[in-house]
Amino acid sequence: MLKNTLLLICLTIVFSAQKPNEEGLKDLFTDSFYIGVAVNGQQVSGKVPEELALIERHFNSLSPENGLKWEKVHPEMDRYDFEFGDAYVALGEKLGAFTIGHCLVWHQQVPNWVFVDEAGRLLGKEALLSRMEDHIAQVAGRYKGKIDGWDVVNEAFNEDGSYRESNWYKVAGKDFIKAAFRKAHEVDPAAELYYNDYNVWKASKRAGILTLAKEMKAEGIQIDGIGMQGHYMLESPSLEQIEQGIIEIAEAGFQVMITELDVDVLPRPGNTQGADLNINFANSPKYNPFANGISPESAAKLSQRYTDLFQLFQKHKDKISRVTFWGLHDGRSWLNNFPVRSRTNYPLLIDRDLKVKEDVFAKLKAISKD
Ligand code: GLA
């Protein structure tokens, strides 16, 4: 009896320590949209309690940063690895978060074996689609009822709105996209299904995406929303460009999600916008100006940029269902390595010391009352 009481007391202490009730980012926007975060393996396995506490305090939606991508979850033809995924959905359940699956079909982070036969020749359409459908059945099937929304297809379009010449497209044409959504719906009819891409603020790219999305809808294929990856810079894209994207997607009859939000404060070599992972440059001091701390000017610009962005999101809260940050804190951001490796970037709302950027938080709090 005493033992049980002690156990109960201990559990209560642990539980309340993990449930900080200070106001978080998510609480500012509960009436507007979910506030999400992309999480990694360490975070879902609970190895870093301070990070877990921040996730719990600030976010009510989760996305898996890398752990459910094909190369991770299905590295070999006959081998699936669900270690991350199982821990991920368990965390989503524990937090009561709106839990996203990312992503079933993409041209990156997918092993080459997927596309070729035993002799190394590119597969035919039927064989490739059947491999893809099988993957969707296994992965979306395992998490049926646990994942609330899936990024079914990621980044299938070029900047001019034409289809990206990926192996998927080369072999199956745009049918691969339709087949992926059909299968995902068949496997988990209750899950929401999304198409996700970067630079959706570009009118030409968006036109291609929306043409297909409307065509799919007309054919009775479920597609609920379009994810606008928010890999933005301080000055680009303009708020008008982003707003136009939000409005057009909503007018076409789809939910809008700002997925993968971050703001790159470092200089970019050449004209590299968005998140084309094929682009990568070597590091140099010229491109890593804030190795020892961000300048006050850039910190102020970052804070203004987030204020402007959230003001825009708040204005369109009737159209936007979710705003997801791509990473928990600056030290964990992929932008420390893209498009230049090993830099010190400051793209998120939580810094590398796990401190919330209080000035930005205060401004967002003011906006959230609008
Ligand atoms: C794209 C993908 C994400 C992620 C980022 C970079 O935006 O959708 O999964 O890989 O690139 O981290």
Percentage of the chain modeled with pLDDT above 70: 91
Mean pLDDT (the chain, rounded) = 93
Residue 260 among the catalytic residues: yes
> Is it the case that residue 189 has pLDDT exceeding 50?
yes
| HSE-up (13 A, CA, CB side) for residue 356 | 18
Q: Among 255, 281, 257, 254, which Cα is nearest to 267's?
A: 281
Supply the pLDDT for residue 286: 84
Q: Is the Cβ–Cβ distance between 51 and 354 less than 8 Å?
A: yes
User: Beta strands of 122-266 (E only): which ranges?
Assistant: 149-154, 192-197, 225-233, 255-264
Cβ atoms < 10 Å from Cβ of 99: 22
Ligand 1 centroid, distance to 26 Cα (angstroms): 23
> Is it the case that residue 21 has pLDDT exceeding 70?
no
Ligand 1 centroid, distance to 275 Cα (angstroms): 7
Kindly report, residue by residue over 131-146, the tens digit of the pLDDT: 999 999 999 999 999 9
- CA-nearest residue for atom 6, ligand 1, is 334
> Is it the case that residue 9 has pLDDT exceeding 50?
no
Angle, nearest 10°, between helix axes 239-251 and 296-315?
20
Binding pocket residue ranges, ligand 1, CB within 6 Å: 102, 154, 198, 229, 260, 275, 277, 334
Ligand 1 centroid, distance to 13 Cα (angstroms): 37
> Which pLDDT band holds residue 268 (cuts at 50, 70, 90)?
confident
Kindly report, residue by residue over 339-362, the tens digit of the pLDDT: 999 999 999 999 999 999 999 999
**Where do we find the tokens 């990926």?**
166
Measured distance CA(66)–CA(322) in Å, rounded: 19
Ligand 1 centroid, distance to 2 Cα (angstroms): 51
Q: Is the Cβ–Cβ distance between 122 and 115 less than 8 Å?
A: yes
Phi, psi (deg, nearest 5) at residue 328: -85, -45
Q: Give Cβ neighbours of residue 320 (< 8 Å, ≥ 6 apart).
A: 32, 33, 246, 255, 256, 257, 258, 313
Planar angle of CA 96, 257, 35, nearest 5 degrees:
40
> Is it the case that residue 270 has pLDDT exceeding 90?
no
Q: Give Cβ neighbours of residue 286 (< 8 Å, ≥ 6 apart).
A: 267
> Is it the case that residue 17 has pLDDT exceeding 50?
no
Spot the catalytic one: 71, 260, 297, 358: 260
Q: Is 346 helix (H, G, I), strand (E, B) or coil?
A: coil
- CA-nearest residue for atom 3, ligand 1, is 65
Domains of the chain (ranges, CATH numbers): 2-19+30-368 (3.20.20.80)
- What pTM does this model have? 0.92
Ligand 1 centroid, distance to 16 Cα (angstroms): 34
- CA-nearest residue for atom 11, ligand 1, is 275
Supply the pLDDT for residue 285: 79
Supply the pLDDT for residue 178: 98
- CA-nearest residue for atom 4, ligand 1, is 65
> Which pLDDT band holds residue 279 (cuts at 50, 70, 90)?
low
- CA-nearest residue for atom 1, ligand 1, is 275
Which CA distances in Å does 70 have to 67, 81, 82, 194, 337? 8, 10, 11, 17, 21
Q: Is 270 helix (H, G, I), strand (E, B) or coil?
A: coil
Mean pLDDT of 156-180: 98
Kindly report, residue by residue over 89-135, the tens digit of the pLDDT: 999 999 999 999 999 999 999 999 999 999 999 999 999 999 999 99
User: Which one of 277, 325, 336, 341 would you pick to mutate in the ligand 1 pocket, going by the greatest count of ligand atoms within 8 A of its CB?
Assistant: 277
Kindly report, residue by residue over 308-346, the tens digit of the pLDDT: 999 999 999 999 999 999 999 999 999 999 999 999 999
